Structure 1
Amino acid sequence: MKRYKKIMTIAIVCIMTVVMVACAPTATTPKPDATSAPTKAPSAGDTPATPEVPGIEGFKPFGKRVHITVPVYDRSKEGYPAVDDNYWTRWIQSEFGDKYNIDVEYVAIPRNDVMVKYSMLIAADDTPTILMEYDYPKVAQWANDGAMRVIDLNEFAKVAPDYYGAMVENNQLGYTDINGETYFVLTERPYYNTTFTFATFVRMDWLRKVGYDHVPKSYAEYTDAIDKIMQAGLTDIPPLGKHLPSAAYVVNFGYRDFPVNEEEWIMHSSLGTASLPWEPTYKLLKRENAEYNKGYYSKEYDLETDDLQWKSDFINGKVYSYGGYMSANVDWLTSFYEKNPDAELAIASVYTGVEPGVMSAQIRADNPFGMIVGFSSLATDDELKAAWMLMEWMFQEENLFVLENGIEGVTYTMGPDGLPVVDGDYRGPEMLNHNMNIDMTCLIHASKKVGTIEQTIKALTPQGLPQDFTQALIDNYYELKEVADRGMAYSDPVFAVAIESESEYSATLLSLYKEYSAQLVKCAPEEFDALYKDLSQKYLDAGYQKIMDERLAAYKAGNTTKLPKN
């Protein structure tokens, strides 16, 4: 960690120049009117002066007790402790909070209802000291609405030099501003262009029964396999799971032309608003319409608002595939093998959907950062500094190691390679929460990182299963890396100005996309094109055209990122 301090002095001198170049504001974009002034050095008195020695070596307890609130995702996982009050939240309080006279309170944020929960907290003047999300449009909305305060990265670097140094090393300073003001710090996302921590598992035993000795590597093979699975009666329900869209993200990367037109990418590629009128979404929905009419999906899939039924059907051996993020303990895989002890699973290929003229092996890379972290406009200077101190403290290797692995001999053992092996089955009071406490440690990075990529994957591989997926997950990483190395893995644009129309219309458009996409998937194939044209126009008129225009204007003014050059 100390290596980051070596670059801090130079970095602080040039930070404002870097940020201004990367994220220059436009003259026509108003600044949020509800944010506080840039952070100043804490005043003397009850608050200790900014330490002469940067970082933890200069930390001193506050003279008066300081209270901070920190969000943590609540995934409502059965058998797991409360996310806002458990052994590890109390460990942070005892090891960090009590030492520096800080009360650290965790606030549960339902994972499937993030924006609603935050909106309620903000409306009640109960905004958490730290606000964080993976999606840039969400944090941009909070900044634009005045829920976040402007910060001074020079002051942040004095309190949290290791954390700040990692931002410099990961080239993240260009993402800290919006509307010409600095709001954000960013966490690390290891191997961000491969999305390797997510894997889709398929019924390899079913594939063998219909003549396949490998997972499908094209859409022709895939549909052939699914058709044969249905014909063989290997399940008594539709073989594929599906539910109504629960978020604005449209999984249409593979359906895009490559290279994608940059202006189209700017106008349509977003986690904030679904891109119904874009050609790639047309191709995606057209394919899903054909699959629905072949009986691949439940006739009532649009009554499901999340994937709980899909997961249940997979656990009970009824559907072909299901996917999720990997960790030492994946409850749905454990439950699957309990119900289907003789089953064989495999990991789906990134090439499964490839069809000439329709879909290629393009993937959405994650952003080159994990959580985008901002701070409440209601936070005092003391509270802001205390939050920064927590982040720097968690960043230290010795503290992060404990939070991600627990207690040796209780929650983990050391393997012969000198790396920790987490006991995913442990259910005592010290048990780690979801994915090895990732919803706490996401304040540092988006996924656990251990040594080499192979060692990292080994640490994330589900334990205690009849099959060992370590090599399969490593192979999956390198298959994804092949795609990334061809330049066919990229993310969404990031805007240095708030897109006002997106804040205004995104909720309405998400509701319409749920309704319209279901109509398009379920209609007769011969009705699809006319219905798509009609619904796309209605969608444009409901606000999407304004979003497209505003995004394009920001791009032409130089206020967005651009596609990577291959």
Structure 2
Amino acid sequence: MGKRKIMSMFMTLLFIAALIAGCTGNSTNSSKESSPSDEGTSPNQNAAGSYPDYSQGFSEKVTMEIPVYERAFEGWNVTDNYYTRWIQKEFGDKYNIEVKFTPIARTNEVTTYQQLLAAGKAPDIIFHYDMPQALAYYGEGVMQELDWKEIEHYAPTYWSNMSETIQQYGVVDGKNTFFFGKRPDLNNYGNFVNIIRKDWVEKVGMKVEDLTSLEKYNEMLMKWKEAGIGVAGAGLTRNVFNYSYGFRDWPTDPKVHALYADLSVADFTTTATEGWLRNLSYQYHNGLIDKEFYLRDDDNKLKAEFVAGNTGTYGLYITNNTDVFEATLKNNPGAEFAVIPPGTGVPEGNVPQGRADWTFGLIMGINHESTAEERAAVWMYLEWMSQPENLMFLQNGVEGENYTLDSDGLPVKDPDFKGESVLSQNNNKDYWALITEAPTFETPELTLKANKNNWTPAGYEQIVEDMIKYRQEIKPYQIQDPLFTVVLEKVNEYKADLNNLFQELYLDIVLAPEDQFDAKYEAAKQKFLDAGYQEILDEKQKAIDAGQFR
């Protein structure tokens, strides 16, 4: 990749992506701006079928840099392992491509990307799971315009699978900008679960199924405290702001939802946030949660407290090779585990609302410094990974070692396998998520069965069954984020500062004596509004009044 200096000036965002894309005539025949290839080759200079032929490989070695999330899995090197070497051998060597993997800190990915971009060392793909941040990258001018026909030429299988999504959601300001990973219905296939020490619950005379509301949950936590058992796990809230869903009104007013629902900016001035803060203050001052929750700013720290037996709750993406149960049992031989019912975070009278995902997974763009050859290499990589045999290998490993096939032809992993081809703790997802968020098979039933095989640690089948059951129960209360059809410039202008200010203000409120809550919160709300939030609300309200959202 070139190392040209990155412009820091934000371009105006006309967020018509996805919203008007299907109606604007932006098809594969649209005109394209020039690619920043060193050779000056732009996609629109190629007539259909006249793209360079790289099927036998590049004449000169091309270096392709692919981002991969760094989750700090113990003993796992995200940039150099059995599978990165396999990718190089099977794909890179075949096409004369050097495949490099760039680690992106999962808990601090925006900062990581910003640093890499500023240094001219960002990978060829720039990705994020949330559209507002993807648009922010676009607004910084760090993504190049794409040619849909070029993708189709070099990645016909990938294009066939994703073209509808790409053409519907991938156009920004009339420019072909984003491509996507597939997201199957994660109400069926999502694997994030909150677990609780079942033995602790029963030790204080309650049952997990008794935890039907926040009030019942706090009652149980008080019994934990009185019995000297332990506390609930808790961590620092920052960067992603979906904390207040359980305190929001139902049914949802679409205009209120559009005004306040925003992953990148906290709804700090709402009654929902006030309810969340009051509960957190109550839990903190009554010794119901980890007293140093504000120091637990990544998953490893939260996990360590649970494994040590200090806390009785923990949330994780569960896989059949997760080590959290085994590690906890080593320190706490009598530990038993269960899924926390979704009502535990919801005050009586409310419903377990949550954020519904879009139909796409990773949102991706091509680095504006990538050459035409590097861009073509990315399309070829997506095509190669889209082949079922390659996806199968990345998701499951070596047949007969990592897994065997059951009577339905589905992979069943050996959870005790520790050989050279051992998978990462999330089944290598951070490599194949460029293609899909979950393995899929011929029918929904087979897909669910296969994913249950992937998710279920031996002996913990009930955890996964309950996770799926609860997900179906809350499905009616999941709602997608609003999408605006006009620029929300103030969000991009203020969100970073408001993120930092939120952390300062909410901790000041929660850690202060309870009798100072009202005064602290009122002052904090005004400070938050004055720091740019009022301008964001005014801008959103203007768009809402004009019907410029959905």
Q: Do the two structures share a fold, i.e. TM-score over 0.5?
A: yes
How has the CA–CA distance of structure 1 residues 174 and 547 changed in structure 2, closer, same or farther, with 3 Å as cutoff? farther
How has the CA–CA distance of structure 1 residues 375 and 522 changed in structure 2, closer, same or farther, with 3 Å as cutoff? same
- Give 1:50's aligned residue: 51
Q: Which amino acid aligns with 1:473?
A: V
Q: Please say if residues 512 and 539 of structure 1, whose CA atoms lie closer than 8 Å, have aligned partners that are also in contact.
A: yes
Are residue 142 (structure 1) and residue 128 (structure 2) matched? Answer: no
Shift of 1:478: 2.9
Are residue 272 (structure 1) and residue 264 (structure 2) matched? Answer: yes
How has the CA–CA distance of structure 1 residues 287 and 19 changed in structure 2, closer, same or farther, with 3 Å as cutoff? closer
* SS at structure 2 position matched to 1:528: helix
- Cα distance in 2 for partners of 1:381, 1:243 equals 44
Mapping of 1:80-95 within 5 angstroms? Answer: 80=76, 82-95=77-90
- Cα distance in 1 for partners of 2:530, 2:284 equals 28
* SS at structure 1 position matched to 2:127: strand
263-272 or 536-545, which deviates more: 263-272
- Cα distance in 1 for partners of 2:155, 2:17 equals 20
- Cα distance in 2 for partners of 1:126, 1:347 equals 42
How has the CA–CA distance of structure 1 residues 516 and 390 changed in structure 2, closer, same or farther, with 3 Å as cutoff? same
Shift of 1:532: 1.4
How has the CA–CA distance of structure 1 residues 17 and 441 changed in structure 2, closer, same or farther, with 3 Å as cutoff? closer
Match 1:321 to one of 301, 306, 313: 313
- Cα distance in 1 for partners of 2:137, 2:515 equals 43
Shift of 1:255: 1.5
* SS at structure 1 position matched to 2:315: strand
491-500 or 92-101, which deviates more: 491-500
- Give 2:237's aligned residue: 245
- Give 1:454's aligned residue: 448
- Cα distance in 1 for partners of 2:332, 2:440 equals 32
Are residue 331 (structure 1) and residue 334 (structure 2) matched? Answer: no
* SS at structure 1 position matched to 2:491: helix
How has the CA–CA distance of structure 1 residues 435 and 131 changed in structure 2, closer, same or farther, with 3 Å as cutoff? same
Are residue 493 (structure 1) and residue 474 (structure 2) matched? Answer: no
Mapping of 1:190-205 within 5 angstroms? Answer: 190-193=184-187, 196-205=190-199
- Give 2:13's aligned residue: none
* SS at structure 1 position matched to 2:182: coil
Shift of 1:481: 1.7
Mapping of 1:246-395 within 5 angstroms? Answer: 246-357=238-349, 359-395=350-386
Q: Please say if residues 19 and 485 of structure 2, whose CA atoms lie closer than 8 Å, have aligned partners that are also in contact.
A: no
How has the CA–CA distance of structure 1 residues 558 and 121 changed in structure 2, closer, same or farther, with 3 Å as cutoff? farther
Shift of 1:136: 1.5
- Cα distance in 2 for partners of 1:294, 1:548 equals 35
Q: Which amino acid aligns with 1:412?
A: Y
Q: Give CA deviations for 1:389-421 in whole Å, capped at 9, x if unaligned.
A: 111111111110000111112222223443212
How has the CA–CA distance of structure 1 residues 63 and 136 changed in structure 2, closer, same or farther, with 3 Å as cutoff? same
Shift of 1:496: 5.2
* SS at structure 1 position matched to 2:360: coil
Q: Please say if residues 397 and 403 of structure 2, whose CA atoms lie closer than 8 Å, have aligned partners that are also in contact.
A: yes
- Cα distance in 2 for partners of 1:240, 1:477 equals 23
- Cα distance in 2 for partners of 1:23, 1:522 equals 51
Q: Give CA deviations for 1:72-103 in whole Å, capped at 9, x if unaligned.
A: 011122122x1112111111111112212222
Q: Please say if residues 36 and 370 of structure 2, whose CA atoms lie closer than 8 Å, have aligned partners that are also in contact.
A: no
* SS at structure 2 position matched to 1:106: strand
Q: Please say if residues 411 and 450 of structure 2, whose CA atoms lie closer than 8 Å, have aligned partners that are also in contact.
A: no
- Give 1:112's aligned residue: 107
- Cα distance in 1 for partners of 2:45, 2:187 equals 39
- Cα distance in 2 for partners of 1:528, 1:224 equals 22
Match 1:537 to one of 508, 526, 538: 526
- Cα distance in 1 for partners of 2:18, 2:520 equals 48
- Give 2:224's aligned residue: 229
Shift of 1:240: 1.2
Q: Which amino acid aligns with 1:320?
A: G
Mapping of 1:391-540 within 5 angstroms? Answer: 391-450=382-441, 452=445, 453-464=447-458, 468-484=459-475, 486=476, 488-495=477-484, 499-540=488-529
Q: Please say if residues 175 and 496 of structure 1, whose CA atoms lie closer than 8 Å, have aligned partners that are also in contact.
A: no
Shift of 1:463: 2.5
Shift of 1:201: 0.9
* SS at structure 1 position matched to 2:426: helix
Q: Please say if residues 41 and 50 of structure 1, whose CA atoms lie closer than 8 Å, have aligned partners that are also in contact.
A: no
- Give 1:30's aligned residue: none
Q: Which amino acid aligns with 1:77?
A: F
Are residue 550 (structure 1) and residue 544 (structure 2) matched? Answer: no
Question: Structure 2: where are the runs of 5+ without partners?
Answer: 1-15, 26-32
372-381 or 410-419, which deviates more: 410-419
- Give 1:79's aligned residue: 75
Shift of 1:124: 1.8
Q: Please say if residues 454 and 474 of structure 1, whose CA atoms lie closer than 8 Å, have aligned partners that are also in contact.
A: no
Q: Which amino acid aligns with 1:521?
A: V
Question: Structure 1: where are the runs of 5+ without partners?
Answer: 1-15, 26-32, 53-57
How has the CA–CA distance of structure 1 residues 224 and 444 changed in structure 2, closer, same or farther, with 3 Å as cutoff? same
- Cα distance in 1 for partners of 2:523, 2:260 equals 19
Q: Please say if residues 20 and 180 of structure 1, whose CA atoms lie closer than 8 Å, have aligned partners that are also in contact.
A: no
Shift of 1:306: 2.8
209-218 or 367-376, which deviates more: 209-218
Q: Please say if residues 150 and 183 of structure 1, whose CA atoms lie closer than 8 Å, have aligned partners that are also in contact.
A: yes
Normalised to the residue count of structure 2, the TM-score between the two structures is: 0.87
- Give 2:12's aligned residue: none
- Give 1:163's aligned residue: 158
223-232 or 142-151, which deviates more: 223-232
Q: Please say if residues 217 and 349 of structure 1, whose CA atoms lie closer than 8 Å, have aligned partners that are also in contact.
A: yes
Shift of 1:447: 2.8
- Give 1:13's aligned residue: none
Shift of 1:495: 4.3
260-269 or 503-512, which deviates more: 260-269
How has the CA–CA distance of structure 1 residues 21 and 370 changed in structure 2, closer, same or farther, with 3 Å as cutoff? closer
- Cα distance in 2 for partners of 1:147, 1:159 equals 23
Shift of 1:186: 1.2
- Give 1:4's aligned residue: none
How has the CA–CA distance of structure 1 residues 230 and 305 changed in structure 2, closer, same or farther, with 3 Å as cutoff? same
Shift of 1:307: 4.2
- Cα distance in 2 for partners of 1:556, 1:23 equals 22
* SS at structure 1 position matched to 2:533: helix
* SS at structure 2 position matched to 1:352: helix
- Cα distance in 2 for partners of 1:108, 1:498 equals 31
Q: Give CA deviations for 1:242-293 in whole Å, capped at 9, x if unaligned.
A: 2222323232112111222222222321221222112221211111112222
Q: Please say if residues 343 and 352 of structure 2, whose CA atoms lie closer than 8 Å, have aligned partners that are also in contact.
A: yes
- Cα distance in 1 for partners of 2:174, 2:536 equals 20
Q: Please say if residues 328 and 461 of structure 1, whose CA atoms lie closer than 8 Å, have aligned partners that are also in contact.
A: yes
241-250 or 444-453, which deviates more: 444-453
Q: Which amino acid aligns with 1:481?
A: Q
Match 2:168 to one of 151, 169, 174: 174
Shift of 1:294: 1.8
- Cα distance in 2 for partners of 1:18, 1:226 equals 45
- Give 2:183's aligned residue: 189
Are residue 65 (structure 1) and residue 66 (structure 2) matched? Answer: no
Shift of 1:552: 3.8
Q: Please say if residues 36 and 371 of structure 2, whose CA atoms lie closer than 8 Å, have aligned partners that are also in contact.
A: no
Q: Please say if residues 39 and 155 of structure 1, whose CA atoms lie closer than 8 Å, have aligned partners that are also in contact.
A: no
Normalised to the residue count of structure 1, the TM-score between the two structures is: 0.85
* Identity over aligned pairs, percent: 34
Number of aligned pairs? Answer: 520
How has the CA–CA distance of structure 1 residues 196 and 461 changed in structure 2, closer, same or farther, with 3 Å as cutoff? same
- Cα distance in 2 for partners of 1:193, 1:494 equals 21
